Amino acid sequence: MNAVTVTPVEDRAATTAFVRLPYALHRDDPYWVAPLEREMRAFLDPRRNPFFDTAEARLFLARRGRRTVGRIAAVADPRFQERHDFRCGHFGLFECADDLEAAGALFDAAAAWLAGRGLTRMLGPLSFSVNDECGVLVDGFDGPPSVGIPYNPPYYADLLTGCGFGKAKDLLSWLVPMPPDGEPPAAIARVAARTLADPAVRVRPLDRDRYEDDMAAIKDIYNDAWAENYASVPLTDAEFLHMAAQLKSVVHPELVRIAEVDGEPAAFTLWVPDVNQALRAARGRLTTWGLPIGMLRISRAMGRITRVRGGTSGVRKEHRSRGLVAVLLADAQRAAFRLGYTETDLSWILEDNRGSNRHAQAMGGVHFRTHRLYERDGGGLR
């Protein structure tokens, strides 16, 4: 067998190999959803991804002979180090054949790059932070992932543990079937009704005519609500504007609910159609030989989307006792019902976030998928 070699990504050909490796590894897996190649190239480009305004990453490829068998990104994020652990860097975008030697060589290359920046621990996968895709799927391999949720074959967990990594934290996903009448369970409905009896509280959908203002308010609530969460980093203005621009084409105003207290935004929940159900039809490419074949496939498939993903929510600290989460969940579910969706994926939720997991269960959710963050070199986050 040829020896494993690991090299940094330094030119266009290597970037292409990095981007296309998952297609070679997973194209025969019936549940894998091919990411759009154009979007991945933009994500990796420091000129187009504002994450690189405050952080840096180094990409590596592993090869056996001429065959590419693995990839990884080593990530140094000063915001994370300042908030959580000044010794800790990340790894992300990890993809690998079932080859323990290749995986070990990739992790060692990432660790060496991080050590050159004084970082002696690795946490991941974070691609590139908890604001992006993160975690290794360790349970729930019986269906395709929702949009924004990573997918990998079962052997990835063995590669990580075989390379000396241990569990850092689990991320839970809850599947909520749509009730026949679209109404939330009685326990949620009661809390929501009691909260809305307060004349100071109002819940409304996203205002398309004030999209930028509403998204700016959501960013402020998000940064406040998530400030103390595990591995969180604040979104910069540039990152959020970039994210808002990407969401604009897929978000439905009715699925974004904003709770106001005395006229000021106090909480939100942001649900999106599970466009992965349509993206599978494109097979990773919008065009083929210059023809918009992938775009046409997506367009035809958009009408067949049945799932929404409840991707993120937040409540300002001073309003957490008002019952706003119940109001938002009830409102969002009713909106999803009116739009014809038949199930909701509430994901992801930290395993020790008891409040959010209780809300997911109270909505009738069933825990159906687990992703795991791993760490090496011991220690926990503050």
Write down the pLDDT at residue 248: 86
pLDDT in tens, 234-259: 999 999 989 988 888 888 999 999 99
pLDDT in tens, 167-176: 999 999 999 9
More confident residue, 279 or 206: 206
pLDDT above 90 as % of the chain: 84
Q: In this structure, are residues 271 and 332 in contact, taking their beta carbons and an 8 Å threshold?
A: yes
Q: Are strands 166-177 and 201-205 parallel, antiparallel or unpaired?
A: unpaired
Q: In this structure, are residues 156 and 136 in contact, taking their beta carbons and an 8 Å threshold?
A: yes
pLDDT band at 296 (very low <50, low <70, confident <90, very high): very low
CA dihedral 193, 199, 203, 204 (to 10 degrees): 130
Write down the pLDDT at residue 299: 53
* pLDDT surpasses 70 at 295: no
Whole-number Å distance between alpha carbons of 166 and 106: 17
**Which domains are assigned to the chain?**
4-129 (3.40.630.30), 176-369 (3.40.630.30)
Write down the pLDDT at residue 263: 96
* pLDDT surpasses 70 at 288: no
Write down the pLDDT at residue 202: 97
What's the length of the chain? 382
Q: In this structure, are residues 235 and 223 in contact, taking their beta carbons and an 8 Å threshold?
A: yes
The two counts, helices (H) then strands (E), for the chain are 12, 15
pLDDT band at 367 (very low <50, low <70, confident <90, very high): very high
Q: With left for phi above 0 and alpha for psi between -120 and 50, is residue 283 left, alpha or beta? A: left
Q: In this structure, are residues 306 and 175 in contact, taking their beta carbons and an 8 Å threshold?
A: no
Report how far Cα 84 is from the mean position of its chain's Cα atoms.
Answer: 20
Residues 6+ apart with CB under 8 A from 147: 272, 273, 274, 275, 276, 279, 309
Sign for the CA dihedral angle at 15, 21, 27, 29 comes to negative
Q: In this structure, are residues 139 and 370 in contact, taking their beta carbons and an 8 Å threshold?
A: yes
pLDDT above 70 as % of the chain: 92
Instruction: Supply 261's token pair.
Output: 């207290």
Residues 6+ apart with CB under 8 A from 35: 22, 279, 284
Q: In this structure, are residues 97 and 25 in contact, taking their beta carbons and an 8 Å threshold?
A: yes
Instruction: Work out the burial of residue 31: count CB atoms within 10 Å of its CB; fewer than 13 is exposed, 13-18 middle, 19 or more buried.
Output: middle
Whole-number Å distance between alpha carbons of 344 and 309: 6
Q: What is the mean pLDDT of residues 225-231?
A: 94
* pLDDT surpasses 80 at 332: yes
* pLDDT surpasses 50 at 218: yes
* pLDDT surpasses 50 at 183: yes
Q: What is the mean pLDDT of residues 193-202?
A: 97
CA distances from 84 to 78, 91, 122, 188, 221 (A): 10, 16, 13, 34, 20
Sign for the CA dihedral angle at 376, 377, 378, 381 comes to negative
* pLDDT surpasses 70 at 297: no
Q: What is the mean pLDDT of residues 372-382?
A: 73
Whole-number Å distance between alpha carbons of 235 and 320: 21
